[in-house]
């Protein structure tokens, strides 16, 4: 069968299924599961006979949403909180995985711009970080403790204040996505350039390693989570700009709902990063290198696994056809 005929033959069925999935117009889970089987059969057929067709991406997305509906109604998952983090978030991340790639590429490109700009312009770091902060950091370096700034304040005060600030930054990165993703890009630009310039300042003073072994104890999880909220913002922006087969209002509602899931999933990581910054980073100067590196790698591995590898594992386990 030609692809055009295949699409024409099934288009009405897919559109009706799409509307039913979004509006939850099913009498019972069995009806949804039955229709889902038909959808998977169409997906398998398309993958076999039209491997380069755009219809595969469409059916993949529709199948992913249908699976979320099915598993949301299963009685075996009694704990809504665990279901959210174990299944719902990973499947949502998988569905929007390309937006995560966009966010990470942009953020680290901005960080590179910040580092290169600082390398070629002696005033750039002061422009970005401010004279007061730079002078304080230079004094700390001269005193032999480059990351002494993290010793200021109480443990609990630092933990709470830093956590609230990080969550605020993450919420802005998501909400600013309403401007077609440009606002989210601006947040990533600010934070990326700041990170690049900040780290280059230590490099220029010959204490890059001393800064890395301290800052990245909490920074690995904190920076990663901020970029994840950036991906959520891009999802929101794309829902407005590229509604696809949905109305713009419906597309926005779907993108907002999925983006909120991803934003909420970062809160535990922001809390953990705040805890590390308030209770652990301040003692990094006295730590053995092996301990600092272990903490950094462990936190980075944990959040990387959750947002990059685990979504593939969950989705492929639930639906081998995807």
pLDDT in tens, 25-83: 655 556 666 677 778 778 878 877 788 787 887 887 787 777 766 665 554 445 778 88
List of long-range contacts for 140-144, beta carbons under 8 Å, 24+ apart? 141/202, 141/205, 141/207
Q: Is 112 a member of any domain?
A: yes
Tell me the mean pLDDT in the region 213-217: 94
**41: domain range?**
3-76
The C-alpha atoms of residue 319 and residue 40 are separated, in whole angstroms, by 9
Asked if residue 147 and residue 72 are part of one domain, the reply reads: no
- Assigned domain for 249 exists: yes
In a domain, 134, yes or no: yes
130, 251: one domain: yes
The pLDDT of 253-258, averaged and rounded, is 92
| Model-wide pTM > 0.75 | yes
Each residue's pLDDT tens digit, 164-200: 999 999 999 999 999 999 999 999 999 999 999 999 9
- Is residue 210, in this structure, part of any structural domain at all? yes
Better-scored residue on pLDDT, 234 or 242: 234
The reply to whether 216 and 107 lie within a common domain is yes
Q: Which helix (H) or strand (E) holds 161?
A: helix 155-175
Residue 282 and residue 201 share a domain: yes
Asked whether residue 131 is assigned to any structural domain, the reply reads: yes
Is residue 45 classed exposed, middle or buried when 0-12, 13-18 and 19+ CB atoms within 10 A define those classes? middle
What is the chain's mean pLDDT, rounded? 88
Note the pLDDT tens digit of each residue in 113-151. 999 999 999 899 999 999 999 999 999 999 989 988 888
Other beta carbons within 10 Å of 152: 10
Are residues 58 and 170 both part of a single domain?
Answer: no
pLDDT band at 90, cuts 50/70/90? very high
- Smallest Cα–Cα separation from 280: which of 151, 176, 95? 151
- For the chain, what is the largest distance between any 2 Cα atoms, rounded to a whole number of angstroms? 76
pLDDT at 59: 81
Query: Could you tell me the sign of the dihedral formed by the alpha carbons of 7, 13, 14, 16, in that order?
Result: positive
- Residue 311 in this model has a pLDDT that exceeds 70: yes
User: Does 153 or 172 have the greater pLDDT score?
Assistant: 172
The verdict on residue 280 lying in a domain is yes
Q: For residues 274 and 162, is the Cβ–Cβ distance under 8 A?
A: yes
Same domain, 173 and 265: yes
CA 166 to chain centre: 14
């Amino acid at each position: 069968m030609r692809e055009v005929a295949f699409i024409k033959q099934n288009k009405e069925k897919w559109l009706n299924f799409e509307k039913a999935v979004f509006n939850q117009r099913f009498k019972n889970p069995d009806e949804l599961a039955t229709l889902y089987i038909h959808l998977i059969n169409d997906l398998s057929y398309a993958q076999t006979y039209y491997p380069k067709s755009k219809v595969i991406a469409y059916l993949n997305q529709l199948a992913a949403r249908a699976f979320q509906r099915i598993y949301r109604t299963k009685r075996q998952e009694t704990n809504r909180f665990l279901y959210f983090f174990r299944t719902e978030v990973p499947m949502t991340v998988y569905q929007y995985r390309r937006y995560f790639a966009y966010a990470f590429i942009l953020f680290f490109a901005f960080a590179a711009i910040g580092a290169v700009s600082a390398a070629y312009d002696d005033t750039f770091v002061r422009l970005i970080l401010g004279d007061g902060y730079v002078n304080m950091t230079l004094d700390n370096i001269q005193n032999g403790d480059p990351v002494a700034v993290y010793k200021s304040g109480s443990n609990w005060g630092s933990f709470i204040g830093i956590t609230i600030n990080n969550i605020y930054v993450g919420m802005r990165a998501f909400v600013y996505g309403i401007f077609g993703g440009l606002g989210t890009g601006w947040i990533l630009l600010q934070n990326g350039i700041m990170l690049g310039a900040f780290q280059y300042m230590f490099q220029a003073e010959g204490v890059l390693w001393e800064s890395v072994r301290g800052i990245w104890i909490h920074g690995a999880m904190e920076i990663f989570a901020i970029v994840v909220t950036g991906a959520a913002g891009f999802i929101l922006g794309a829902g407005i700009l590229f509604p696809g087969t949905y109305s713009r209002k419906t597309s926005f509602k779907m993108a907002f709902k999925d983006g909120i899931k991803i934003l909420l999933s970062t809160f535990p990581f922001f809390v953990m990063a705040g805890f590390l910054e308030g209770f652990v980073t301040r003692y990094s100067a006295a730590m053995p290198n092996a301990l600092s590196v272990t903490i950094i790698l462990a936190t980075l591995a944990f959040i990387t696994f959750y947002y990059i590898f685990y979504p593939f594992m969950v989705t492929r386990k639930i639906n081998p056809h995807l």
